[in-house]
Structure 1
Amino acid sequence: MHTFLPIAYFENQFVPFENAKLSIATHALHYGTAAFGGMRGIPDPENPKQILLFRLDRHCQRLSQSAKFLNYELSSEKLQQIIIDFVKKNKPSQSFYIRPLVYSSGLGIAPRLHNIEKNFFVYGLEMGDYLSPDGISCRISSWTRQEDRSFPLRGKISAAYITSALAKTEAVESGFDEAILMNSQGKVCEATGMNIFIIRNGTLITPGFEQDILEGITRDSVLTLAKNFGIPTIERPIDKSELFIADEVFLCGTAAKIAPVKQIETFKLSAHRPITEKLKDKLFAITENKDPDYRDWVYTVAVE
Structure 2
Amino acid sequence: MDDFLPIAYFQNQFVPFPEAKLSIATHALHYGTGAFGGLRGILDPQNSNQVLLFRLERHCQRLSQSARYLYYDLPAEKIQKVIIEFVQRNRPQTSFYIRPFVYTSDLGIAPRLHNIETDFFVYGMMFGDYLSPDGVSCRISSWYRQEDRSFPLRGKISGAYITSALAKTEAVKSGFDEAILMNTQGKVCEASGMNIFIVRNGQLITPGFDQDILEGITRDSVITLARDLGIPLVERAVDRSELLIADEAFLCGTAAKVVPIQRVESYELPQQRPLTELLRSKLAAITENREPAYQSWVNVVPLS
TM-score tier, shorter chain, comes to: over 0.9
Aligned partner of 1:82 in structure 2 is: 82
In 1, distance between residues paired with 2:98 and 2:294?
Answer: 21
Amino acid at match of 1:24: I
- SS of 1:74's partner is coil
Aligned partner of 1:225 in structure 2 is: 225
Aligned partner of 1:186 in structure 2 is: 186
In 1, distance between residues paired with 2:193 and 2:100?
Answer: 16
Q: Which runs of 5+ in 2 are unaligned?
A: none
Q: Structure 2 matches for 1:28-47, cutoff 5 A?
A: 28-47=28-47
Amino acid at match of 1:145: R
Amino acid at match of 2:286: I
In 1, distance between residues paired with 2:131 and 2:230?
Answer: 28
Q: Does 1:148 align with 2:141?
A: no
Runs of 4+ off more than 3 Å: none
Aligned partner of 2:293 in structure 1 is: 293
Cα deviation, residue 108, structure 1 = 1.6
In 1, distance between residues paired with 2:54 and 2:209?
Answer: 22
Q: Does 1:212 align with 2:243?
A: no
Percentage identity across paired residues of the two chains: 73
Cα deviation, residue 272, structure 1 = 0.2
Amino acid at match of 1:265: E
In 2, distance between residues paired with 1:169 and 1:224?
Answer: 32
Aligned partner of 1:93 in structure 2 is: 93
Amino acid at match of 1:187: K
Q: Structure 2 matches for 1:16-165, cutoff 5 A?
A: 16-165=16-165
Deviation by residue 1:204-249 (Cα, 9 ceiling, x = unmatched): 0000000000000000000000001100000000000000000000
Contact conserved, 1:108 with 1:116, CA < 8 A, in 2? no
Contact conserved, 1:5 with 1:124, CA < 8 A, in 2? yes
Q: TM-score, normalised by structure 2?
A: 0.99
Q: CA RMSD in A?
A: 0.6
Cα deviation, residue 17, structure 1 = 0.3
Amino acid at match of 1:80: Q
- SS of 1:160's partner is helix
- SS of 1:300's partner is strand
Aligned partner of 1:176 in structure 2 is: 176
Count of matched residue pairs:
304
In 1, distance between residues paired with 2:133 and 2:108?
Answer: 44
In 1, distance between residues paired with 2:269 and 2:94?
Answer: 33
Contact conserved, 1:244 with 1:264, CA < 8 A, in 2? yes
Q: Which runs of 5+ in 1 are unaligned?
A: none
Contact conserved, 1:136 with 1:178, CA < 8 A, in 2? yes
Cα deviation, residue 109, structure 1 = 1.1
Cα deviation, residue 2, structure 1 = 6.5
Amino acid at match of 1:130: Y
Aligned partner of 1:267 in structure 2 is: 267
